[in-house]
Amino acid sequence: MDSDYSAIHAYAEAYSSSEPILLNTINRETHAEVHGAKMISGHLQGRILATFSHMIRPRRILEIGTYTGYSALCLAEGLTEDGILYTVDIDKNLEARVKGYFESSGKAHQIRYYIGPALEIVPKINEKFDLIFIDADKKNYTQYYELSLEKLNPHGFIIVDNVLWKGKVCETENQLTKDKYTQTIIDFNNRVHNDSRTDNVLFPIRDGLMVIRKK
């Protein structure tokens, strides 16, 4: 994040609604106690996810990539009264922590939390979704996308994180050949952008949010 963007990000965060107390706690504890804390959605992106959810008012949400539960709780803010959020993560070591956060939120009765490979678990969930958030291992992004489209209601939305990949998607071809993950994200972005089944817009927020609407 360059200095100009950092200043803009800080300004945008300062002029956005503050984090709810529990989310602020999750943010602080994740950075202090959990490996890979940069993966957390954080204040600004979290408020954006919550706002999307409030706008859509989803009855069913799917999240692929729970991490410490921050984004799940942001997305759950906009659920209908009878709504349910399904969230899937591979990391069993975080299970007790995440369940504790969900219990503290008062939203645990609306959250179904699964541990294991999403490509095995999601096909077994007998639901159609209004909103899907993908923030997991990048090598499987295309598979997650195709699976999500199958599970998404018409006119539903998919939001995909990290589609700017620290700005590396804009680097020259010679630089790209040295980084297979950057090429994976570029290939994914091209696939989405050229998909006749959907409309999309890429938001340059943090590491990039691709917002996709199923036609």
Residue-wise pLDDT tens digits, 168-214 = 998 766 665 557 889 999 999 999 999 999 999 999 999 999 999 99
Tens digits of residue pLDDT in 77-91: 999 999 999 999 999
Residue among 50, 79, 60 nearest 131 (CA): 60
Residue 162 — pLDDT band, cuts 50, 70, 90? Answer: very high
Give the DSSP per-residue string, the chain. Answer: --HHHHHHHHHHHHTSPPPPHHHHHHHHHHHHHSTTGGGS-HHHHHHHHHHHHHHH--SEEEEE--TTSHHHHHHHTT--TT-EEEEEES-GGGHHHHHHHHHHHT-GGGEEEEES-HHHHGGG----EEEEEE-S-GGGHHHHHHHHHHHEEEEEEEEEE-SSGGGGGGS-HHHHTT-HHHHHHHHHHHHHHT-TTEEEEEE-STT-EEEEEE-
Question: What is the per-residue pLDDT for 175?
Answer: 61
pLDDT in tens, 119-137: 999 999 999 999 999 999 9
The boundaries of the domain holding residue 94 are 3-214
Burial class (CB in 10 A: 0-12, 13-18, 19+), 119: middle
The mean pLDDT value for 61-80 works out to 98
Task: Give mean pLDDT, residues 39-61.
Answer: 98
Domain count, the chain: 1
Query: CATH no. for residue 133?
Result: 3.40.50.150
pLDDT score for 171: 79
**In the beta sheet, which residues pair with residue 131?**
61, 157
Instruction: Let me know: does 114 contact 99? Beta carbons within 8 Å.
Output: no
pLDDT value for 3 = 58
Q: What is the pLDDT of residue 179?
A: 79
- Average pLDDT (125-154) is 98
Percent of the chain with pLDDT strictly greater than 70: 95
Share of the chain residues as helix, strand and coil, in percent rounded to the nearest 5:
50, 20, 25
The pLDDT, as a whole number, for residue 64 is: 98
Residue 2's pLDDT is 57
Position 178 scores a pLDDT of: 58
Q: What is the mean pLDDT of the chain?
A: 95
